Amino acid sequence: MPDGEVNFTVNTTDGPVSELTYTRDQLLNTLGHLQYSGGNVRNLDNFTTANAGSTAYDSSGNIMSRSVVGGDGVTVTNGDGVSANPEVSLERPILVTPTADRTLQPNETICVVNTTSASPSLTVTLPDASSMTGRTVTVVRSNRVGGTLIVAASASATIRYSGDTSGDAGNSGSTRSLTDQYSSLHLISDGTNWYTL
């Protein structure tokens, strides 16, 4: 081998090369099975340059470790696979049932409110639209009598109602009221405003 040392031996009984193998092509074929490169022996089936697995070799024969990472709505545990197998989970909607004014957190995506006559109105403020791009929130009024449920956008965001194509004041605003039993708003954020679905 290039370093002058014995890097491996060939089992002539069980290995892929018989004891009668002596040609250059047969030796290269054997090395191909062992993937000898730069003084390293590696398994072609498991490690190749640009391997899509969690570990791969670069063009110099160095090991590259890869990790699984989370993103918006995705949680990863043990992403590097060192202490245990990686676990990936999707964020599940969290249901909240407020009895007083409430500002929803980004993970609180389903809100069911039972207003009462003792409270003339109850306000549910949506999360900041800029932190919810592409995500949805549903707010439902569950009762028939009582006060008004007000759904409010935070900061300078507006709630764009169905049919709003021009941004006119009749179809958008910073709040929307739910007065009927089981009335609801299913909203999606574009990163700036909320739109009804």
CATH code of the domain containing 154: 2.60.120
Same domain, 82 and 30: no
Evaluate if residue 174 carries a pLDDT over 80: yes
Which one, of 168, 148, 156, 102, lies nearest residue 129 by Cα? Answer: 156
Q: What is the pLDDT of residue 40?
A: 53
Starting from the edge strand earliest in sequence, which strands make up the sheet with 121-125, in order?
102-103, 121-125, 148-152, 175-178
Domain count, the chain: 3
48, part of any domain: yes
Same domain, 45 and 116: no
Can you tell me the mean pLDDT for 104-109? 90
Same domain, 143 and 73: no
In degrees and rounded to multiples of 5, residue 27 shows phi and psi of -65, -45
- Would you give the DSSP letter of residue 181? T
Evaluate if residue 166 carries a pLDDT over 60: no
The upper half-sphere exposure of residue 162, i.e. CA atoms within 13 Å in the direction of its Cβ, equals 4
User: Contact 43/57 with Cβ under 8 angstroms?
Assistant: no
Residue 132, helix vs strand vs coil:
coil
Evaluate if residue 187 carries a pLDDT over 60: yes
Residue 119, helix vs strand vs coil:
coil
Residue 32, helix vs strand vs coil:
helix
Same domain, 84 and 143: no
Residue 13 is encoded by which pair of tokens? 């009984």
1, part of any domain: no
39, part of any domain: yes
pLDDT digit string, tens, across residues 67-81: 777 776 778 888 777
Same domain, 73 and 44: no
18, part of any domain: no
143, part of any domain: yes
9, part of any domain: no
What's the rounded Cα separation, in Å, for the pair 139 and 97?
10
Average pLDDT value over all residues in the chain: 75
Same domain, 120 and 72: no
Q: What is the pLDDT of residue 55?
A: 63
- Domain region containing 30: 24-65
pLDDT digit string, tens, across residues 124-144: 999 999 989 999 999 999 887
What's the rounded Cα separation, in Å, for the pair 35 and 5?
17
Evaluate if residue 3 carries a pLDDT over 60: no
- Would you give the DSSP letter of residue 172? E
Same domain, 85 and 109: no
Same domain, 54 and 73: no
Can you tell me the mean pLDDT for 104-114? 90
Q: DSSP of 38-53, one letter per residue?
A: TTEE--TTT--BT-SS
Evaluate if residue 102 carries a pLDDT over 90: yes
4, part of any domain: no
Q: Is the pTM of this model over 0.85?
A: no
In degrees and rounded to multiples of 5, residue 15 shows phi and psi of -80, 175
Evaluate if residue 83 carries a pLDDT over 60: yes
